Chain A
Amino acid sequence: MQIICISRGTFSGGKKLAEALAEKLGFDCLAREELTDMATASGIPVGKLEMTVVRRRPMTEAMIIERERYKAFVTSVLCERARSRGLVYHGRTGHLVLPGVTHVLRLRAILDPEQRVLSAMDRLRLSREKAQSYINDVDEDRHRWVRTLYNADWKDPTSYDLVVNLSHMSVENAATALVSMAQLPEFQATPATKQKIDDLLLASRCRLALGSDPRSRDMDVKVRSDGGIVSVTYLPRHEGKAELIPEVLATVPDVNEVLCTMASTNVLWIQGKFDPQSESLEQIVDIATRWNAAVELMEIKDEEEPASPAPESLTPEQKSDAGFPYSSENGGILDDEAFDYETELDEGLRKTRQRLISAGRAGGYRVLKGCPKDVLSSIDRTVDYNLVVVGDLCPSKGSSVSKRRTQEMVSYLLDNMHVPVIEASEMKSQFMFGPAQFMKLLGFAAMVVIMVFGVMSHQKDVLEFISKGTCLFSACEEVGMSNRILSALAIALFVPVFAFCYGGFTRFIFRILRFD
């Protein structure tokens, strides 16, 4: 069902807005405070997590595990609630809890700072100065909280569908306006998003099961689910406990298959269509084996132009229809397909996954459609990715379109993820060792040899050139300043060039030795 998340600052009126909106729509209303109480009651030390953030302590290993449990708890509660009825959640990070669920209406409520200070003064009985610093501190705490939990910027307006400024609008009227927004087709559940919610729910239940079992409690694991197939990645130091994972997860209902991979880091492979015969697959398996990484697959389905239907074509029957079509002309087909590919993998993806499993490097998979922004929002930003590989995005649309899309994706992810992002075709030159690399290696080696021998066989000339014009010798006055500058510049140029050549040489040598 429908999910509306309102992100609010302290004393910004978000709570009232959420309550009013829930009442008008007849939805459940869930506050962050209720959620944290539930989490604490179930044994997750939310208070400790909060204090870690409030005191600006860095996350310890133990705290990271608690953070994952808390996130799983929040996800499971929101998914459970949203499955049966519509839900309005108000808190800090509702808009980030359900990555990849595109029909969530994400709102942010803001209010004029002066009004916030006044209500803080009034309600907390504080002096103006203290109320002001209270609000600043709490805002900063929330900012850090969102960073710590989801590695996202809380204030970034582009992560919301709408920012509601309640300074000049009554809560009541804002809620009325939002009711009609909530009825837009973009915010209705589709079979695909329902499937996504089921997956998130299953993954979070599995994570919670692992977190509450005393034997696997202290394992730092990431859990993903795709249509009942649960992928768990764990760190090498927990290798001894790996056998426990399937055992613990056997108690969780709806789990069809459990796949556990040991990984100290992750590689994300985004592609339009996976081909088990491709060269890229072998290259990625090779890189992942070298790096001890798990490879996560992300298949991007071709998407027709994302034209949303005109509002006037809406009829009340369509609104309540859960499987509302995405685009007016062929939406129904798209939706059926969306439903199918989640439960039944296409051949290429299945075989690629099989290959990764047999190499011990599988890290889950997912299928989505959409633009780079959608890809980014469905990536868990707290996962430690070492490399993102982008393959052909739309193989069906011809090479020029595909190339452009691929490059767009690469540059978008590069700007936003702070990890190396490369095209699949570059993988060879970046990480593998082939004939081209061999030639480069030879070139670098030749340069290095020439430079070293050049300097070492002309030691006298070199040293004379370096010290010419300086007062090391009595010839101080004879040779002028210009010579000194010349020799200084020559050194300043020569040294980085040598460092570059020799650096390239050693990098290739270590690549051959698989030391990277």
Chain B
Amino acid sequence: MEDRLQIMLVDDEEIVGKRLKSSLEKEGYAIEFFLTGSEALKRLDEKHFDIVVTDIRIDEIDGLEILDAVMENSPETKTIMITGYATAEIAREALAKGAFDFIAKPFRPKDLREVIIKAARQIKRD
């Protein structure tokens, strides 16, 4: 396996993916971006990711289902949830189900980078 951190990014907006991808790749992470939940789930079966960053509201399969799949198949993967429509209930649900952290839109790429660094540190410790 490469020593670069493997990160999966799921969001139904192309622009979000583009902006975050370029910002994170600059930091030396390997990023794969998916527009839909089903594509993301398929890819999760094939490959191990260290960190999954997913929007909660995406079509058909939502972020919480991706979280469930991740927790089932590779519980050591850290999942970071992002959403503009965050409510306390959803945040708590995601955290109870094992999400690593939660970021509310609008946020700066810097904020996401900070959370990813925290997650990476945790991965090393584990």
Contact = CB atoms under 8 A, between A and B. Distances in A.
Real binding pair: yes
A283 to B, nearest CB: 46
Interface in A38-57: 40, 45-48, 50-51, 53-54
Interface in B71-86: 83-86
Interface in A117-144: 124-126, 130-131, 133-134, 137-138, 141-142
A355 to B, nearest CB: 46
Interface string A436-455: 00000000000000000000
B63 to A, nearest CB: 13
A74 B106 CA distance: 20
Contacts of B96: 124, 126, 130-131, 133-134, 137
B85 A36 contact: yes
B97 to A, nearest CB: 7
A33 B87 contact: yes
A138 B92 contact: yes
Main secondary structure of the interface of B (DSSP, over half): mixed
Given A45-B106, A124-B93, A134-B93, A142 B88 contact: yes
B104 A126 contact: no
Interface string A101-128: 0000000000000000000000011100
B119 to A, nearest CB: 17
Interface in A14-66: 33, 36-37, 40, 45-48, 50-51, 53-54
Nearest to A141: B88
Nearest to B105: A47
Please indicate which of the listed interface residues B87, B91, B103 has the most CB atoms of chain A within 10 Å of its own CB. B87
Nearest to B93: A124
B88 A48 contact: no
A40 B88 contact: no
A75 interface: no
A10 interface: yes
Most A CB within 10 A of own CB, among B84, B103, B104 = B104
A51 B97 contact: no
A494 to B, nearest CB: 55
Given A124-B97, A126-B96, A134-B96, A47 B83 contact: yes
A254 to B, nearest CB: 31
A137 B93 CA distance: 10
Contacts of B2: none
B104 A51 contact: yes
A142 B105 CA distance: 20
Contacts of A138: 88-89, 92
A40 B105 CA distance: 10
Given A45-B84, A51-B86, A124-B96, 9 more contacts: A48-B104, A48-B106, A50-B87, A51-B104, A54-B92, A125-B68, A134-B93, A134-B96, A138-B92
